[in-house]
Structure 1
Amino acid sequence: MSYRTKLTNTLIICCFCIFLGHGQMISRSELNDSIQNFSYFTIHKDNYFISGFPLTNDINSNTADAKYQISFKQMITRDRLPWETYLFITYTQKAFWNIYKDSYPFRDINFNPSLVLGKTVFDKNQKLEGIATIAFEHESNGRDSIYSRSWNRITASYITNLTKRTVAEFKAWVPFGYQNGNPELLEYTGLAEINLEHELKKNRLYLNVLLRKGLNFKAKGAFRPRLYFAPFGKNTSNQYIMVEWYWGHGESLLEYEEFRSMIRFGYVIKSNEFNFFRMKN
């Protein structure tokens, strides 16, 4: 068994071996009131600008880079649809920028719009237990010829608490429309991912880990831990300094087959999509 395979298996086992805890969760009425006060337009995933270098290659202007992401969500309606669901659209754009090379070229830009139907799930005491979604997603890099990469997928996700301070998102997808440009994509992205976030210090320090395994028996997939630190007092602006390590494949569509081990750090406006699951004091 290779070093990469052993490391991947160890990380997966560690992430699943978490003691399930309990706490005071938000109630149905409190959640409904919160949704009515929401802005229609909010951030979706993290919005960030980070820069860094590889851990497996020489560090120079060709290997160091910057990565940034812009992501937002627009609610279609605050009113509940049939089966107590909500409809919204999202858009995420991720760019890989060779800012240390002459002329500062963009290596790849990935565009990811989606249409999402979400449903809140409550326990027998009418406390929030989870949020389930089903979505249609498209992702492409907007290029043509041999550099074109795109795929479509129907995704299902579920967000819930694992412990008082740990929130998990389980996400799976059924892909289609990807065979022409990138027929081996699933060998590197797989059919599912797990996103875990642990609150180390309330409103100040968080650890987030994403795990993805390709459809193979080799160590293809991704392991991406992030550490967020808020240096700004009570942090009402939701701004953090972030350190990210990306280890694995599929970081960008254009080079999804390439293995990368990149460490980057920079500024982030953190996503608030896990906030409903923060235990109340």
Structure 2
Amino acid sequence: MESILQRLNYKNLCLMSLILSFSYQAEAATESECIEKQVANSAAEVTLGEIRTICKAQHSLEEDGSVIIRGKKVKAGLLTKRNIEERQNDTSEFVLTPHRMNYILPVYSTNQMNPEAYRTLNSLGDGYKKVESKFQLSLKLPLSYSSLFVEGDRIYAGFTLEAWWQVYAKEISSPFRETNYRPEIFYVAPLDWHPNDANTTVTVGFEHQSNGRAGSWSRSWNRVYTEFIYEQGNLVWGVRPWYRLPEDAKTDPTSPNGDDNPDITDYMGHVEYSIGYAFGKYELSAEMRQNFSTNKGSVKLNLTTPLYGKLKGYFTIFNGYGESLIDYNHSQTRFGIGVALNNLF
């Protein structure tokens, strides 16, 4: 009997060793395939060490949905899963990484156009319709690939373009009513703080926003900001305060030098709150800006739904000030329906 048990134990040990060997070989082969793929698709400047870091992040997501962050096993939420997927391809020359939402709204209505902003445009402003189209293109590019100060941190450059198109105003040749440009550079770092099995992240950045116009229609501002993000499963919320960098006052309203909109923070506020929740393939999110001293700000609700392939149905409602830079001091309610390429979170 003892001899039989010894033989069985020996066979079990051999079988376990064989399984572990196959598992190790499969993992090594998968990592090797990842490195080979990254070498083939990455830019020449990307180092082998950076590629190994990317492949390590790619295989860090466990079957139970957990991930190893700074040596700790934590549950991966919406943003963590998105970051892992992004880092699998962000060295490729043939992949563009979304930053904010990318979408087109063929129907985007307002309850009231801004008469003050277009008073000097003669008859052009009178021809604007309350229903127009809007689209947004937002991309980011990593400026670092390996950790700098803490594990998993990175520096990014981002660019967001928003355009309001009077496509239905045939009488005035369907012009673009407003275009906003938003370049920025920012640093992202995961925090070693996981309350209630949640993940936390901090971002610090600088951004410029302008509508690219001249004279009395010019609008722009520069700001530095920080953002704290908390994610737990399908829930994400964040708070983003900023400080507007001061500019010299204009000596002449028509001068290209000086502050185009010195009171912009009275309407756009000093902080933005955001929250999002994913119900399966549906995502509901809200963004709110606020200036507590002037009691002015805005709120925006977004809903994305499955549509076709990578395309998502997109519904949005906006109320308040600052829907665009030309309308920073104009309050309105807007509703849009269209198609999005990615979610907010």
TM-score category, normalised to shorter length: 0.7 to 0.9
The alignment's C-alpha RMSD in Å is 2.6
CA–CA distance in 2 between the matches of 1:198 and 1:33?
Answer: 19
CA–CA distance in 2 between the matches of 1:169 and 1:115?
Answer: 19
Listed one character per residue, the Cα deviations across residues 6-43 of structure 1 (whole Å, up to 9, x for unaligned) are xxxxxxxxxxxxxxxxx975331687976752424401
Q: 1:155 aligns with which of 225, 234, 249?
A: 225
Cα offset, 1:198, TM superposition: 1.1
Cα offset, 1:46, TM superposition: 0.5
TM-score, normalised relative to structure 2: 0.64
Contact 2:154 2:187 in 1 (8 A): yes
CA–CA distance in 2 between the matches of 1:36 and 1:188?
Answer: 37
Listed one character per residue, the Cα deviations across residues 215-263 of structure 1 (whole Å, up to 9, x for unaligned) are 5343x2111001111133xx5x3x2101100111101101211111011
Contact 1:189 1:221 in 2 (8 A): yes
Runs of 4+ in structure 1 deviating by more than 4 angstroms, as ranges, are 29-36
Q: Where does residue 116 of structure 1 map in the other structure?
A: 186
Say whether residues 1:43 and 2:122 are aligned partners: no
Q: AA paired with 2:273? A: I
**Unmatched runs of 5 consecutive residues or more in structure 2:** 1-63, 74-79, 114-126, 250-258
**Structure with greater strand percent:** 1
Of residues 80-89 and 248-257 in structure 1, the stretch that sits farther from structure 2 once superposed is 80-89
Q: How many residues align?
A: 240
TM-score, normalised relative to structure 1: 0.77
Say whether residues 1:231 and 2:286 are aligned partners: no
CA spacing shift, 1:124–1:210, aligned 2, 3 Å: closer
Contact 1:70 1:92 in 2 (8 A): yes
CA–CA distance in 1 between the matches of 2:150 and 2:132?
Answer: 46
Contact 1:27 1:128 in 2 (8 A): no
CA–CA distance in 2 between the matches of 1:240 and 1:130?
Answer: 27
SS in 1 for 2:266: helix
| Bigger relative CO (Cα 8 Å, ≥ 6 apart) | 1
Q: AA paired with 1:210? A: E
**Unmatched runs of 5 consecutive residues or more in structure 1:** 1-22, 275-281
CA spacing shift, 1:89–1:252, aligned 2, 3 Å: same
Q: Where does residue 205 of structure 1 map in the other structure?
A: 282
CA–CA distance in 1 between the matches of 2:194 and 2:341?
Answer: 35
Superposition pairs of residues 1-281 of structure 1, within 5 angstroms: 26-28=67-69, 37-40=88-91, 41-50=96-105, 51-55=107-111, 62-84=129-151, 85-102=153-170, 103-123=173-193, 129-161=199-231, 164-177=233-246, 180-200=259-279, 202=280, 204-218=281-295, 220-232=296-308, 237=310, 239-271=311-343, 274=345
Listed one character per residue, the Cα deviations across residues 167-208 of structure 1 (whole Å, up to 9, x for unaligned) are 1121110111456100110011111001111112x1x21111
Listed one character per residue, the Cα deviations across residues 111-134 of structure 1 (whole Å, up to 9, x for unaligned) are 000011110113379x76212110
Q: Which structure is larger by alpha-carbon Rg, 1 or 2?
A: 2
